[in-house]
Structure 1
Amino acid sequence: MSTKTGRGHVAGLPTWDRCAVMGVVNVTPDSFSDGGRWFDTTAAVKHGLDLVAQGADLVDVGGESTRPGATRVDETEELRRVVPVVRGLASEGVTVSVDTMRASVAEQALAAGAALVNDVSGGVADPAMVPVVAASGAPFVVMHWRGFLEGGNVKGVYEDVVSEVVDELHARVEAVLEGGVAPDRIVVDPGLGFSKQAEHDLALLAHLDRLHTLGHPLLVAASRKRFLGRVLAGPEGAPPPARERDAATAAVSALAAQAGAWAVRVHEVHATADAVRVARAVESARAADPAPGSGPDGGHPGTGSAEGAR
């Protein structure tokens, strides 16, 4: 798959001619980024619709925080949080993804209208997840995951983070395929921030082309994460709060789009929607640009115009 124009199509989902934008609705009181803001069902549905109005192509609904140190919510509470929001958004025609590690939540969310299951554990946390997804025929996001983060940033030690993430994702994808999920319904995610330090996340972003060798569309979820705080703070300063990392998130979205990502997952949609459209326009211009030296008098096209040179 080309890292530029061949970002791939996920069976069962709409097709976009550019990197898609996945907006985030956290129906949780304790998300690292916006915990508690959309905890009420009505507010969460309205927020999801607002994200679509701002340019989101699909909306990812989650009822359990996966920040380092978070305590898992019980199944009944996760269902209570997630299913009504999924139903409300799907009834409005929104393409909905459900962000869950529980097969029961995935199953009920799919029945309520979700179109995609986004499991940060890649089906490891709940052995019933892959059979449920396979039986439903839904697309499935397989993220690189090394375990629950209740004890902090666990197992975040790598000799070669890019090779290890690619190899571990490959093994997990093979297991998901063996479990019956169709290959054209698998999306891969390098799991930025999960059992990774800032240098690991940056290395993965620098080598997204290596993730394409897995042969599946790529989701990049960098929004507001700790590594962006580290970059913005510099060597001496304190990282800015999560909600002050949206410009940096949009920058990553543009880079990911340029590198051929199928979608980017973000909290603040407007800037990223602009970023991926600009990336697509530049990509189109690159494809249409004639070879250097083919303009009038052997120069670059357009350089003869004083107005165009300003």
Structure 2
Amino acid sequence: MGILNVTPDSFSDGGRYATLDASLSHAEEMIEAGVDIIDIGGESSRPGAAPVSLQQELDRVMPLIFALRDCGKALSIDTYKPEMMREAIAAGADMINDINGFRAEGALQAVQDVDCALCVMHMQGEPQTMQAHPEYTDVVAEVREFLFGRTSQMQQVGIAPQRLCIDPGFGFGKTLEHNAKLLKNIDALQNDLGFPVLAGLSRKSTIGALTGRPVEQRMAGSLAGALAAVMHGARIVRVHDVAETVDALKVWQALA
């Protein structure tokens, strides 16, 4: 899954792909590099990020969906707003990737009677405050319990389990220690809950803490993080550096 942020304030590439031409050019690069899913985000979810209006998000995301829906790759829309979900699905989106776990009022209704894929993520708190003082008694058990509760409720309203994947939410209200524990338990989460895990570590503060590198110098660390996630069972890796990750996975899978 390649990241396509059409925001001015994302933590890693904010502003680089804020225009339609720049976004489409980057999408074409990812397609050439071998991306499977393009994850389009119109609102930054970095720690401390301020929310944007529905209209702003629609204005940023909808032109990209219309431009890319016939590109031959799956389109994922990174949003927690039910109205954005409805518009994206009607325009041809293949997946909704919700950092809020479809908890917003109307979110389940927006996705229950369609057939697109859904990614359910765990987040402690909200983007503005989530990294202030994240605390858990047992991070793996608590994330598992949350994801079990959300996926159960979604199935109760008629959403087929085959549509679901889960995301432990690396960096969303977690310390380095929390992220490491979750990473090492990806297989356990998949086995316990029965859904494929999506792992998003690319360029995040965990990589920075381990390497001492600023965000623009975290490619090597991010590649190692993606390989570690796959080694522990992740079925989807969400990354900024598609070509490099594809190459790393090809070599690792051939020689491992």
The TM tier, using the shorter chain, reads over 0.9
258 and 279 in structure 1: CA distance in 2 versus 1, 3 angstrom threshold:
farther
- Paired with 1:64 and 1:217, the residues of 2 have a C-alpha distance of 25
Letter aligned with residue 218 of structure 2: R
What's the TM-score, normalizing by structure 2?
Answer: 0.95
Indicate the SS of the match to 2:238.
Answer: strand
Q: Which moved more, 1:201-210 or 1:148-157?
A: 148-157
Name which of 46, 60, 68 aligns with 1:67. Answer: 46
Letter aligned with residue 277 of structure 1: K
Indicate the SS of the match to 1:36.
Answer: coil
Indicate the SS of the match to 1:216.
Answer: coil
Q: What does residue 135 of structure 2 align with?
A: 157
- Paired with 1:129 and 1:70, the residues of 2 have a C-alpha distance of 21
- Paired with 1:155 and 1:87, the residues of 2 have a C-alpha distance of 40
After superposition, what is the alpha-carbon deviation per residue over 1:63-110, rounded to whole angstroms, capped at 9, x for unaligned?
000011111000000000001112211132221100000111111112
- Paired with 2:205 and 2:7, the residues of 1 have a C-alpha distance of 19
Q: What does residue 89 of structure 2 align with?
A: 110
Q: Does 1:23 align with 2:17?
A: no
Name which of 245, 255, 277 aligns with 2:228. Answer: 255
Q: Does 1:230 align with 2:209?
A: yes
Equivalent residue runs for 1:299-310 within 5 Å:
none
- Paired with 2:130 and 2:118, the residues of 1 have a C-alpha distance of 26
Give, in angstroms, the shift of residue 258 of structure 1: 2.1
What's the TM-score, normalizing by structure 1?
Answer: 0.79
C-alpha contact (below 8 Å) 2:199/2:229 kept by paired residues: yes
C-alpha contact (below 8 Å) 2:3/2:240 kept by paired residues: yes
- Paired with 1:216 and 1:109, the residues of 2 have a C-alpha distance of 24
Letter aligned with residue 71 of structure 2: E
- Paired with 2:248 and 2:226, the residues of 1 have a C-alpha distance of 7
The CA RMSD measured in Å over matched residues stands at 1.4
Q: Does 1:266 align with 2:239?
A: yes
- Paired with 1:279 and 1:129, the residues of 2 have a C-alpha distance of 38
C-alpha contact (below 8 Å) 2:6/2:40 kept by paired residues: yes
Q: Does 1:146 align with 2:119?
A: no
C-alpha contact (below 8 Å) 1:257/1:279 kept by paired residues: no
- Runs of 4 or more, structure 1, over 4 Å off, are none
Q: Name the count of aligned residue pairs.
A: 255
Give, in angstroms, the shift of residue 49 of structure 1: 1.5
277 and 157 in structure 1: CA distance in 2 versus 1, 3 angstrom threshold:
same
Give, in angstroms, the shift of residue 230 of structure 1: 0.3
Give, in angstroms, the shift of residue 155 of structure 1: 6.1
Equivalent residue runs for 1:1-310 within 5 Å:
22-124=1-103, 126-153=104-131, 156-212=134-190, 213-233=192-212, 240-282=213-255
Letter aligned with residue 251 of structure 1: A
- Paired with 1:268 and 1:257, the residues of 2 have a C-alpha distance of 16
